Amino acid sequence: MENAATRLETVRSNIARVCKPARREASSVTLIAVSKTQGPEAIQPLIDAGQRVFGENRVQEAEGKWPALREAHPDIALHLIGQLQSNKAEEAVALFDVIHSLDRPSLLSALAKAMDKAGRQVPCFVQVNIGDEAQKGGCPIAELPAFLAQVRAADIPLAGLMCIPPADTEAAPFFALLVKLAADNGISGLSMGMSGDYETAVMLGATHVRVGTALFGARG
Ligand SMILES: *Cc1c(COP(=O)(O)O)cnc(C)c1O
């Protein structure tokens, strides 16, 4: 019978296995358990199994379920992995420990203002529109150097680059492109890899993988 603890063990050992030939410590990869659409009853077993980093894609959904869980487990870190509207910047800064979806100047100024007001610095990944998809969020590749300069000037802690490759295609070339963009811009943090491709992402250098279904089973 597969349960949360065994699924967590499987994902962790898969990460450790691909770290070895890459000569990386497994601890250099942060496993983010993506708990969007999952209720507290599905999340609790993972907390009990030792998982402490979780990811949500909606501010409002996270506000509904996390305050109680975090009160019981203050060492939990919460990552925002979904698109963020500028008018939710204050709520996001109050609730999340890391934001993965900084992708445009208007959001940058909203976040900088919110962090200043709250007196709380929240590290941000700059999301890159790695497959140049019109419907997806993310900074266009051509605009990345200029946007990174703006982020650095705004004095927001830059955690790294993040991408979501196009669906139904081989992810590896997109991960490799993100690695190159990071290197070109002197950045070491890489948020890439989901349930179907986190091992590939780790092999290529991911520092943060965002894994939902492989940990929770079916969607909640
Ligand atoms: C849902 C989601 C994930 C996790 O996807 P799975 O395939 O369930 O692992 C990762 N990143 C983002 C941005 C997501 O929205």
Instruction: Give the model's confidence band at 16: pLDDT under 50 very low, under 70 low, under 90 confident, else very high.
Output: very high
Instruction: Map residue 17 onto helix, strand or coil.
Output: helix
pLDDT > 90 in the chain, percent: 95
pLDDT surpassing 70 at residue 85: yes
Q: What is the CA(94)–ligand 1 centre distance, in A?
A: 22
* Residue 20 dihedral angles phi and psi, to the nearest 5°: -60, -60
pTM: 0.97
Nearest CA to ligand 1 atom 6: 212
Instruction: Map residue 24 onto helix, strand or coil.
Output: coil
Alpha carbon 16 to its chain's center:
19
Q: Ligand 1 within 6 A of 36 CB? A: yes
Q: Ligand 1 within 6 A of 162 CB? A: no
* pLDDT tens per residue, range 126-135: 999 999 999 9
Q: What is the CA(56)–ligand 1 centre distance, in A?
A: 9
Q: Which of 32, 118, 151 is nearest to 81 (CA)?
A: 32
Ligand 1 pocket test: which of 34, 163, 209 has the largest number of ligand atoms within 8 Å of its C-beta?
34
46-68 in b/e burial notation, b at 16+ Cβ within 10 A? bbebebebbbbbbbeebeeebee
Quick one: pLDDT at residue 206? 98
Q: Ligand 1 within 6 A of 150 CB? A: no
Range of the domain at 103: 4-216
Q: Ligand 1 within 6 A of 129 CB? A: no
pLDDT surpassing 90 at residue 11: yes
Quick one: pLDDT at residue 219? 65
Instruction: Give the model's confidence band at 108: pLDDT under 50 very low, under 70 low, under 90 confident, else very high.
Output: very high
- In whole numbers, what is the pLDDT of the chain averaged over residues? 96
Quick one: pLDDT at residue 220? 61
Q: How many domains are there within the chain?
A: 1
pLDDT surpassing 60 at residue 9: yes
pLDDT surpassing 80 at residue 1: no
pLDDT surpassing 90 at residue 155: no
CATH number of domain containing 185: 3.20.20.10
Q: Give mean pLDDT, residues 82-97.
A: 98
Q: Ligand 1 within 6 A of 192 CB? A: no
Q: Ligand 1 within 6 A of 99 CB? A: no
Q: Ligand 1 within 6 A of 57 CB? A: yes
* pLDDT tens per residue, range 18-50: 999 999 999 999 999 999 999 999 999 999 999
On whether the CB atoms of residues 201 and 187 are closer than 8 A, the answer is no
pLDDT surpassing 80 at residue 194: yes
Quick one: pLDDT at residue 133? 96
